[in-house]
Structure 1
Amino acid sequence: MARPGGWGRRSRPAERRAERSERRVYRVGEVAGAIRDTLGGRFRDFWVEGELSQVTEARSGHVWFQLSDEREMASLKGVVFSGDRGAVKARLADGVRVRVRAALDFYVGRGETQLVVKTMLPAGEGDLAARFEAIRQKLAADGLLDEARKRPLPRAPRVVGVVTSSTSAALRDIIRVSHERAPVRLVVADCRTQGPEAPRSIVVALQAIQRLPEVEVIILGRGGGSAEDLWAFNDEAVCRAVAAARVPVVCGVGHESDYVLAEMVADARASTPSNAAERVVPDAAALAEEVRGWRRRLEAAMNARVDRSRIALERLDRRLGDPRAVYQAEHRRLDALTRRAQRHLRGDLDERRRSLETLRRRLERRNPRAALRADAERLRVLQDRLRRAMAKELERARRDHGRTAEALPRAIERNLAERREAQATLRERLRGLGRPMIQRSRARLGALAGRLDALSPLRVLGRGYAIAFGPEGQALKRADQVREGDPIRVRLHEGTIEALVTPPIENHE
């Protein structure tokens, strides 16, 4: 039952969906990008067949069209970019039924889905398209379609090899264009370019023309025709022979709208045989003009170099000036240096002369002969002074000796008398003190001698006792200090005897 105000009660599933929608709201760009990624990942490379309509070619070379299904109301928009026009083998017109190899792309800006065409063939050529794609994939898997392996063409070849039918219009176009552009030698290897024998014939011709060492580049060409007519240039053996060529190969088969696998493998692709000749043979006039341009640039560079050198030379000339003025200036400078040198030499010579004179005078003063004469004179003066001093001292000593000789006997006699008197006094005192001292000393010595005699072991031996000494010289006090058979020495009062120990006897107290 509806509530007032038009609000109704939501069911629980509806509430859950509302909660989920409130949790994540996508932007339009996110949805469009997801569609583009999904379609691009699933429909990246596929074949589709339909009828062309609304075919429109832009100024840029892109072709827009609509591909419709004849059985039901369904259509897809498509585009052929200008760079892929060579892969279109069908006529681009309304009502033409075609088989398209494309990728599906979603254009985010307008929200439209379109086919990006890689290859377009008439609808009746479906088997050839499948074979074409199978061979292309094998060549791509072996790396023969890589741009990195393709070699540059020689700038100005002198010998060009041509592999085509000797009776074809393509050969006449190649010869005409080549001779119009530059004088070049063409070597033709005849081969079949159509039919079942054509692939093997092309391979043999390619191998044969490479045996000529002077060939620098090869043109592989054929005029226009249907897909069946040009199929020999899609043969796998032909493509591998082109890839294995010793020199670069330029492939020009059919018209600009024709596209064969040999062109993908070749080092360069030409839209027609005439265009192949234009790519291989340089334009002599253009080369001459290029050489003239290089010559003009070289002359300009040389003139600029000469101008710079001339300017540098003029600057050096201005810095150097007139050689005569330079010579005169250097001559004046040399004269000034000469005068300065002479002044310095004269001053140095005078200084050396003065030094020599000073040394001569010093040498004269230190002459050994002069020094000897001066020393002799000083010695003579000193000798005179010494003789006079010695004479005076001798006279004074004589006077002192006379006085001493007179007083000396009296002093000696007086000293001797004094000493005799002192000696007599000392003798008397010594006699008075010496006798009592000697008597006391003799009495004390007698007492000590008596005590020593009483304690002497010899005194004990004199009473009949003896002292026994063991083998090691120790005095024996007990019988157990020796053993039977030990030698002993016995000291008596007078003399010593040797004995041996006999079996012990019992001790008696």
Structure 2
Amino acid sequence: MRRRKKQTKIWTISDLVAHLRSKIDEDPQLQTLWVKGEITNFTLHERSGHMYFTLKDEQTRVKAAMFSSQNRRLRFRPQNGDSVFALARLSMYEREGQVQLYVQEMQMSGIGDLYTRFVRLKEQLEQEGYFSAPAKPLPRFPRRVGVVTSASGAVIRDIIITMRQRFPLTEILLFPVAVQGTNAANEIAEGIEILTQQGDVDVLIVGRGGGSLEELWAFNERQVADSLFRTTLPVISAVGHETDTTISDYVADHRAATPTAAAAMIVPDQIELREQLRLLQHRLIQAQRRVLDQRLQTLTNWQERLQYSGPKVKIQQYVQQVDQWGSMIRDRLDSQVQIKKQRLEHFMSKLRLLSPKGKLITNQERLERLKNRLQLSMNHQLERYREQLMKQIVQLEALSPLKVMQRGYSLAYRYHDQSLVTSVKNVQSGDLLRVRLSDGAVKCQVWSTEE
């Protein structure tokens, strides 16, 4: 047995397969390539949705897999014997140690040329930024919707029925075009440009019903993509069915699976709007009730404050103060009278002690005169104090708001916010006022104002 050299590397099968896979994965030519072949050994896993099959030609074959995330966009159901074009990357399935194609897109080989044109235009437009432009938002309540489609197909009928059911206020402006044929792309592009220039359209729907790649090809033309890219209106592409994909779908601001779905995207549902309005009305009524309760509580608080600090309470305090002043004046007068009487008694006592009869008579007369003068002085002083008291009472009554109202004056307030009206400039014809009188209030409406 030959002895191996120390520097010789021993590979495990796993290492060898992993090395081969890394070499294949590092080759950029093998990561995106088109392969033509015939399908055989086709298997569809029902639970996962993954497809496993073999692609072969006259000389050899290679295994392939197409996972559900990619095969759901297929426009046909692969079968054994189908001749197809497949866009795939090559790698190693390490568990089996075999090279395998991981398919991303697949078309029947009969339309391979069209699909190649589709892919090339898609890559070109993507490089030019047609797909990365920010999508224009759809209007919340469009007034007029422009539709570029066939006048005789089911598309326009479905759009009209859906929009009439959901939101009949929106108008529909149809620009009839051919949706397939040699001149279809030019007509579609012209329709987009004319509706854009018209100025009274809020949003566009561009679409047609389902069909084969050849039938949908008008929506894969460059002139249609240019018109969609240049328009200032938001556009919804509704071409074919959900599994159909066109260049228009990539360039348009929004894509709808069907024309009916496009109509539903544009206009709101009137049933949902009515429910929203009902909820908003309920919330508004609740808010108004809360505001009214707060205003009523504020009014109650002011009424309670007026009971303890209003004009009537102040007048009562002034009357009480006048009574106190009157009592003080009477007490002071009584004190002075008492002092005078005491002095008089003192003089009379001295007079009795010193009195000869003549002086007694003289003094009696003098005493009588002094008594009269004293009485007269006291009367004058009492009258002066009474007059001062009455003047103060009159002044207090003149300051009373109720007294002013009794003379025919009143206070006018705005009926809703209770603000005081101080000028005719503060009111207008038709305004409601609350007029405060001395014995109550009246509710009035302004007919006119005069300065």
TM-score, normalisation: structure 2: 0.59
Q: Is residue 2:138 matched to residue 1:153?
A: yes
3-state SS of the aligned residue for 2:265? helix
The Cα offsets for residues 190-223 of structure 1, whole Å up to 9 and x where unpaired, read as 1111111111111111112222211000111111
Q: Is residue 2:67 matched to residue 1:79?
A: yes
Change (3 A) 1:64 1:325: same
Counterpart Cα distance in 1 of 2:279 and 2:106: 45
Q: CA deviation at 1:169?
A: 2.0
Asked whether the 8 Å contact 2:64–2:102 carries over to 1, the reply is no
Q: CA deviation at 1:26?
A: 10
In the TM superposition, what are the counterparts of 1:234-313 in structure 2 within 5 Å?
234-296=220-282, 298-299=283-284, 303=286, 307=290
Query: Match of 2:33?
Result: 46
Q: CA deviation at 1:56?
A: 2.4
Q: CA deviation at 1:45?
A: 2.4
Counterpart Cα distance in 2 of 1:110 and 1:305: 75
The Cα offsets for residues 13-45 of structure 1, whole Å up to 9 and x where unpaired, read as 2x1126xx7xxx999799859946952763332
Q: CA deviation at 1:133?
A: 1.0
Change (3 A) 1:211 1:262: same
Asked whether the 8 Å contact 2:181–2:218 carries over to 1, the reply is yes
Change (3 A) 1:103 1:326: farther
Q: Which of the pair has the greater relative contact order for Cα pairs under 8 Å at 6+ separation? A: 2
Q: CA deviation at 1:177?
A: 1.8
Q: Is residue 2:12 matched to residue 1:17?
A: no
Counterpart Cα distance in 1 of 2:299 and 2:126: 67
Counterpart Cα distance in 2 of 1:262 and 1:316: 66
Given residue 270 of structure 1, which amino acid in structure 2 is its aligned partner? A
Q: Is residue 2:172 matched to residue 1:186?
A: yes
Counterpart Cα distance in 1 of 2:276 and 2:15: 54
Q: Is residue 2:60 matched to residue 1:69?
A: no
Asked whether the 8 Å contact 1:252–1:271 carries over to 2, the reply is yes
Query: Match of 1:387?
Result: none
The Cα offsets for residues 463-491 of structure 1, whole Å up to 9 and x where unpaired, read as xxxxxxxxxxxxxxxxxxxxxxxxxxxxx
Which protein has the larger Cα radius of gyration, Structure 1 or Structure 2?
1
Asked whether the 8 Å contact 2:62–2:100 carries over to 1, the reply is no
Structure 2 unaligned segments of length 5 or more: list them.
322-451
Number of residue equivalences? 316
Asked whether the 8 Å contact 2:55–2:63 carries over to 1, the reply is yes
Asked whether the 8 Å contact 2:146–2:201 carries over to 1, the reply is yes
Counterpart Cα distance in 2 of 1:152 and 1:116: 37
Q: CA deviation at 1:114?
A: 6.1
Counterpart Cα distance in 2 of 1:273 and 1:213: 23
3-state SS of the aligned residue for 1:218? strand
Given residue 72 of structure 2, which amino acid in structure 1 is its aligned partner? R
Asked whether the 8 Å contact 2:20–2:92 carries over to 1, the reply is no
Query: Match of 2:147?
Result: 162
Counterpart Cα distance in 2 of 1:37 and 1:118: 21
Q: Which has the higher helix share?
A: 1
Change (3 A) 1:46 1:294: farther
In the TM superposition, what are the counterparts of 1:296-335 in structure 2 within 5 Å?
296=282, 298-299=283-284, 303=286, 307=290, 323-325=306-308
Change (3 A) 1:78 1:312: same
Given residue 288 of structure 1, which amino acid in structure 2 is its aligned partner? R
% identical aligned pairs: 30
3-state SS of the aligned residue for 1:211? helix
Change (3 A) 1:93 1:73: closer
